[in-house]
């Protein structure tokens, strides 16, 4: 009999048994279960009941991390909230400058301070603090003069669960160390809110060189006395040529694999090997500057170092990547990955569990991160009554790029004003900030707009006074807010968030077409549907919640399979009638 700490909700035990079977059979597990299902406690109960020794639980936000810690307490597991130095290094936290550092820069600072015996948080920690929220962990240790980051590292080998941000797994440099601290050959890996995972993985492999960053490197080189990168070139001359080349890019276009490097070597009149040697010298000079800054407790940042590292990285052969040049006010080259499977090699070598409120279609997720065909995949239905949600869509309007004009903005505003006039608490989500600005110009009502002030302040104002809140799909309000009961009764999706057809997305589409035959679906349709379903998911957070979603986009017919109560409407009046009828039926 499986141990489960609460009275189970509908379908929770089914998922628990499926998970246990998967883990025992060493099959990867990919599942969608709606928000409010109670996925975290199910996963942890299954892992506990099969006796999993070591688990890496990857989360994206602090609140997800807290949920895992909370359920670990209930289940009597030993969990640690893993955080980077930006959260757990007291020296970095106390300095405005150091707080801006990335993980690599703070690691450099830490190594330098420790080497010089210059860290005041050197008290050795021999105890154990499991199941503490990150803030509790930090406060308790720093009050004893102990470094929370070092204490966390030392405790990982005896913990059952390391609850870590995605980056601890996706950054190869951090992952290698993280695995050493865990000292376990094959921990089970859980990816929470997994719909974000491929995108975050892609971002972590993306490298960029911008005109602005090259100018900063040039300025830094001059301040350093303009050192030589080889017999012929001072650093500033070299960087000026690179800046000129970037400046010549106007339209966004894909570059041939070595196009930029051959342009650079021709202008510099050097071989590719010599070009790379110059970059290696740039790295050395930048590294000396970084060490000096770290010794003085300054942020160990060098633009020359960064630019040289990125140019060198781009100049080496990288499979399944694409370099894209773009113009504008800050011309740049960006190297994007097409394939993220190299990042998930270790994950495939163990058992992994991937859960989310919106992971449909599951085979897309499995394919993108290259899990095997044998992966167990399942969608668990909502434990809440399906008739509590009504989804309507308007068939005479769309946010399609070619229809983004005054007529569309006015028509959407008309729908929005009519819906607001019903006097319910409403959230409106748009495909982008720009589109939101255009439509809201024509709406007279008072609206709390995401981005206008600190999100927490805006949210507490909405919770206190109600009214209308607006944000973007994929943003904080559409994915991270919990507004049960009458706090939120209507969600308006003002246009489906199909991504822009950039050069990169088109390249990605061709790549998926070639390997899976589903390019358009994977690159454009799935992200738009997922963001929409996530936003609509804000409405039903408990058994008693009832809500209406109104999608102002005729392309929404594609969501028909997703919802039980799904209707098309031809004008604002029809929508108002449907909404009124729905709420009257429940009153």
CB of 282 closer than 8 Å to CB of 358: no
> Measured in Å, how far apart are the chain's first and last C-alpha atoms?
42
Instruction: Decide whether 90 or 165 has the Cβ nearer to ligand SF4.
Output: 90
Query: How wide is the angle at C-alpha 180 spanned by C-alphas 176 and 183, nearest 5°?
Result: 140
Distance CA 16, CA 557 (A): 34
Residues from 363 through 422 that contact ligand SF4 (CB under 6 A):
none
Instruction: Decide whether 6 or 173 has the Cβ nearer to ligand SF4.
Output: 173
Which residues are CB-neighbours of 412 under 8 A, at least 6 positions away? 397, 399, 439, 494, 495, 552
CB of 375 closer than 8 Å to CB of 28: yes
Site string for ligand SF4, 525-564 (x = CB under 6 A): ----------------------------------------
CB of 167 to ligand SF4, least distance (A): 16
- Tell whether residue 85 is a contact of ligand SF4 (CB under 6 A): yes
Which two tokens mark 173?
């440099």
CB of 162 to ligand SF4, least distance (A): 17
- Tell whether residue 155 is a contact of ligand SF4 (CB under 6 A): no
- Tell whether residue 147 is a contact of ligand SF4 (CB under 6 A): yes
CB of 309 to ligand SF4, least distance (A): 23
CB of 118 to ligand SF4, least distance (A): 8
- Tell whether residue 134 is a contact of ligand SF4 (CB under 6 A): no
The number of C-alpha atoms within 13 Å of 209 and in the hemisphere containing its C-beta is 30
CB of 95 to ligand SF4, least distance (A): 11
Instruction: Decide whether 155 or 188 has the Cβ nearer to ligand SF4.
Output: 155
Q: Dihedral of the CA atoms 574, 576, 580, 581 (nearest 10)?
A: 10
User: Which of 564, 490, 493, 575 lies closest to 530 in space, CA to CA?
Assistant: 493
* Dihedral sign for Cα atoms in the order 270, 275, 281, 285: positive
- Tell whether residue 161 is a contact of ligand SF4 (CB under 6 A): no
* Residue 177, helix vs strand vs coil: helix
- Tell whether residue 89 is a contact of ligand SF4 (CB under 6 A): yes
Distance CA 496, CA 492 (A): 11
- Tell whether residue 113 is a contact of ligand SF4 (CB under 6 A): yes
Give the number of other Cβ atoms within 10 Å of residue 276's Cβ.
Answer: 18
User: Which of 448, 437, 39, 101 lies closest to 299 in space, CA to CA?
Assistant: 101
Distance CA 291, CA 198 (A): 34
CB of 88 to ligand SF4, least distance (A): 7
User: Which of 141, 125, 124, 144 lies closest to 133 in space, CA to CA?
Assistant: 141
Instruction: Decide whether 55 or 113 has the Cβ nearer to ligand SF4.
Output: 113
Instruction: Decide whether 23 or 110 has the Cβ nearer to ligand SF4.
Output: 110
User: Which of 94, 40, 80 lies closest to 64 in space, CA to CA?
Assistant: 40
Binders of ligand SF4: how many residues, by CB under 6 A? 12
- Tell whether residue 119 is a contact of ligand SF4 (CB under 6 A): yes
Choose one: 89-97, 184-192, 303-311, 334-342; the region binding ligand SF4 (CB under 6 A). 89-97
Q: Dihedral of the CA atoms 59, 63, 69, 75 (nearest 10)?
A: -100
User: Which of 211, 266, 272, 207 lies closest to 244 in space, CA to CA?
Assistant: 211
- Tell whether residue 121 is a contact of ligand SF4 (CB under 6 A): yes
Distance CA 520, CA 508 (A): 9
Instruction: Decide whether 113 or 278 has the Cβ nearer to ligand SF4.
Output: 113
CB of 177 to ligand SF4, least distance (A): 13
* Residue 29, helix vs strand vs coil: strand
Instruction: Decide whether 116 or 460 has the Cβ nearer to ligand SF4.
Output: 116
CB of 164 to ligand SF4, least distance (A): 16
Choose one: 22-30, 146-154, 445-453, 545-553; the region binding ligand SF4 (CB under 6 A). 146-154
CB of 132 to ligand SF4, least distance (A): 17
CB of 224 closer than 8 Å to CB of 394: no
CB of 107 to ligand SF4, least distance (A): 9
- Tell whether residue 94 is a contact of ligand SF4 (CB under 6 A): no
Cis omega before residue 529 (within 30°)?
A: no
Among 114, 253, 386, 434, binds ligand SF4 (CB under 6 A): 114
Instruction: Decide whether 121 or 197 has the Cβ nearer to ligand SF4.
Output: 121
Choose one: 145-153, 281-289, 324-332, 431-439; the region binding ligand SF4 (CB under 6 A). 145-153
Instruction: Decide whether 91 or 539 has the Cβ nearer to ligand SF4.
Output: 91
* Residue recorded with tokens 């399942």: 378
Instruction: Decide whether 109 or 191 has the Cβ nearer to ligand SF4.
Output: 109
Residues from 21 through 40 that contact ligand SF4 (CB under 6 A):
none
- Tell whether residue 137 is a contact of ligand SF4 (CB under 6 A): no
Which chain residues interact with ligand SF4 by CB under 6 A? 85, 89-91, 110, 113-114, 119, 121, 147, 149-150
């Amino acid at each position: 009999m499986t141990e489960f700490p609460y009275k189970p909700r509908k379908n929770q035990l089914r998922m628990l048994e499926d998970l246990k079977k998967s883990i025992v059979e060493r099959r990867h597990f990919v599942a969608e279960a709606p928000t409010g299902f109670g996925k975290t406690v199910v996963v942890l109960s299954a892992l506990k009941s099969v006796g999993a020794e070591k688990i890496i639980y990857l989360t994206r936000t602090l609140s997800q991390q807290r949920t895992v810690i909370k359920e670990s307490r209930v289940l009597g597991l030993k969990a640690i909230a893993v955080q980077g130095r930006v959260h757990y290094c007291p020296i970095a936290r106390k300095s405005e400058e150091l707080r801006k550092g990335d993980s690599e820069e703070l690691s450099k600072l830490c190594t330098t301070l420790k080497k010089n015996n210059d860290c005041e948080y050197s008290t050795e920690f021999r105890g154990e603090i499991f199941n503490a929220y990150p803030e509790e962990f930090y406060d308790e240790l720093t009050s004893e003069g102990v470094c929370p980051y070092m204490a966390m590292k030392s405790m990982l080998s005896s913990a059952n669960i390391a609850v870590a941000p995605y980056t601890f797994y996706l950054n190869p440099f951090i992952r290698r160390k993280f695995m050493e601290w865990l000292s376990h050959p094959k921990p089970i890996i859980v990816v929470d809110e997994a719909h974000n995972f491929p995108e975050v993985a892609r971002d972590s492999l993306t490298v960029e060189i911008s005109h602005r960053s090259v100018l900063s490197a040039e300025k830094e080189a001059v301040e350093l006395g303009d050192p030589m990168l080889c017999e012929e070139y001072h650093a500033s001359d070299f960087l000026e040529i690179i800046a000129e080349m970037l400046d010549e890019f106007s339209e966004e276009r894909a570059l041939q694999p070595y196009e930029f490097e051959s342009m650079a070597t021709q202008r510099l009149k050097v071989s590719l090997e010599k070009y790379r040697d110059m970059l290696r010298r740039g790295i050395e000079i930048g590294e000396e500057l970084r060490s000096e800054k770290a010794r003085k407790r300054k942020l160990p940042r060098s633009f020359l170092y960064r630019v040289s590292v990125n140019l060198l990285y781009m100049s080496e052969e990288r499979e399944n990547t694409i370099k894209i040049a773009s113009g504008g006010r800050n011309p740049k080259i960006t190297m994007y990955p097409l394939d993220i499977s190299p990042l998930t090699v270790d994950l495939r070598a163990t058992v992994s569990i991937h859960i989310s409120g919106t992971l449909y279609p599951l085979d897309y997720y499995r394919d993108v991160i290259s899990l095997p065909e044998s992966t167990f995949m399942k969608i668990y239905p909502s434990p809440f009554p399906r008739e509590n949600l009504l989804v309507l869509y308007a068939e005479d309007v769309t946010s399609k790029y070619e229809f983004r004009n005054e007529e569309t903005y006015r028509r959407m505003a008309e729908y929005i004003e009519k819906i607001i006039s019903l006097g319910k608490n409403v959230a409106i989500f748009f495909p982008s900030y720009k589109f939101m600005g255009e439509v809201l110009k024509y709406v007279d009502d008072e609206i709390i707009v995401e981005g206008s002030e600190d999100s927490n302040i805006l949210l507490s104002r909405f919770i206190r006074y109600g009214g209308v809140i607006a944000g973007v799909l994929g943003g904080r309000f559409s994915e991270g807010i919990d507004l049960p009961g009458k706090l939120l009764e209507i969600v308006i999706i003002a246009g489906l968030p199909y991504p822009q057809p950039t050069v990169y997305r088109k390249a990605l589409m061709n790549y998926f077409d070639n390997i899976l035959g589903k390019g358009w679906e994977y690159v454009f349709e799935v992200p738009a549907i997922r963001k929409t379903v996530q936003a609509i998911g804000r409405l039903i957070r408990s058994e008693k919640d009832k809500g209406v979603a109104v999608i102002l986009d005729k392309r929404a017919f594609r969501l028909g399979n997703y919802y039980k109560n799904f209707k098309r409407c031809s004008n604002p009046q029809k929508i108002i009638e449907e909404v009124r009828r729905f709420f009257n039926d429940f009153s």
